[in-house]
Structure 1
């Protein structure tokens, strides 16, 4: 039984062992492995079509050098989408509500795009720090501001994903608690609140999918600037 509203965001443990590793590896069990047969089942066909469509959409604005990231970006999308959706089930845990996990994903991907840009096109990468035609007195200020904005990017990636999922889960729990309290005294209000809860649950499903896509989309945009 949860002792507080924020206890649902604590990493679950069993006999002192954290279970977050199970939550991170479990989504991969859900996806069937494609076979070498001429004809696969419908689930594998739908899975392959979704992967192809998402990969084409993600790589559309990227240069040829960024196409090497196709497998990594698609895997990241499916990983985030799976754990976000599984976290909406009862008696489950959403790992992406932990800021440490999201920063552990955001910082390496952001740093990889910076390293690729500095290795392949250092002039263009450093050129993003100073817009063309900037007056000379503003050059130091703009360089400092753009440098700070570059280092804020991974923080924005991690905090955006954490805040959106945490707020949605917390709001669902608050409304569900209100429904359980009002069901014995004010049945009409409880029924209306239940409808709001169902609509909010649908909205949270959409948020879980959108935030996974936004995370990968922003990584692809950072990659586009450095390839």
Structure 2
């Protein structure tokens, strides 16, 4: 029995071993791998087409040096989508509701873009800290503000993904609990509430895909500023 609504976000353990490692390794087993045959099956063809379309759309505004990040960002998006979608299944666990894990994705990726910019074009990267035409008295203040906003970026990435998924799961839990309690008392109201729960579940499937896309899209925008 859960003592709190947030107990559902605690990492499950079996014999003292956290099962989050199993949840992180499971998505890679579900995806089919490419074969040496000339013709692939329908699932592989659809998978390759979707990944190619997403890669083309994501890296269209980027310069040529940024195209080296295609494999990393596409793999990260597919991984996040799979984790988010699997977490919507009954009796499952969503690792992306953990802020620590999302920050583990956000901070290294953001730091890599910053280091890349400082290494390849330091003048252009530092120019983002001071907008052109700034009055002289405002220069120190704007530099401090832009520096703070630069370091807030990875926090915003991790918190955005965590907050959206956590809020959706909590809302689904509350609505499903209302259906369970109203079913023996007010059957008609429970049926209407279950329809709301079904629509909310469809919305959460969309949110699971959109949030993974937004996470990678923002990383590509940070990369665009540094290549």
Q: TM-score range by the shorter chain?
A: over 0.9
Name the SS of the counterpart of 1:216 in structure 2: helix
Aligned to 1:140: 140
Instruction: State how far apart, in whole Å, the 2-side matches of 1:191 and 1:166 are.
Output: 25
Confirm or deny that 1:40 pairs with 2:21: no
TM-score, normalising length from structure 1? 0.99
Pairing of 1:1-227 with structure 2 (within 5 A): 1-227=1-227
Instruction: State how far apart, in whole Å, the 2-side matches of 1:39 and 1:68 are.
Output: 27
Instruction: State how far apart, in whole Å, the 1-side matches of 2:40 and 2:190 are.
Output: 47
| 1:89-135 Cα shifts (integer Å, max 9, x gaps) | 00000000000000000000000000000000000000000000000
Instruction: State how far apart, in whole Å, the 1-side matches of 2:214 and 2:53 are.
Output: 16
Q: How far is 1:30 from its partner? A: 0.6
Q: How far is 1:43 from its partner? A: 0.4
Q: How far is 1:3 from its partner? A: 3.6
TM-score, normalising length from structure 2? 0.99
Name the SS of the counterpart of 2:204 in structure 1: helix
Name the SS of the counterpart of 1:129 in structure 2: coil
Root-mean-square deviation (CA, aligned residues, Å) is: 0.6
Q: How far is 1:6 from its partner? A: 1.1
Divergent runs of 4+, >6 A: none
Aligned length: 227
Instruction: State how far apart, in whole Å, the 2-side matches of 1:101 and 1:62 are.
Output: 27
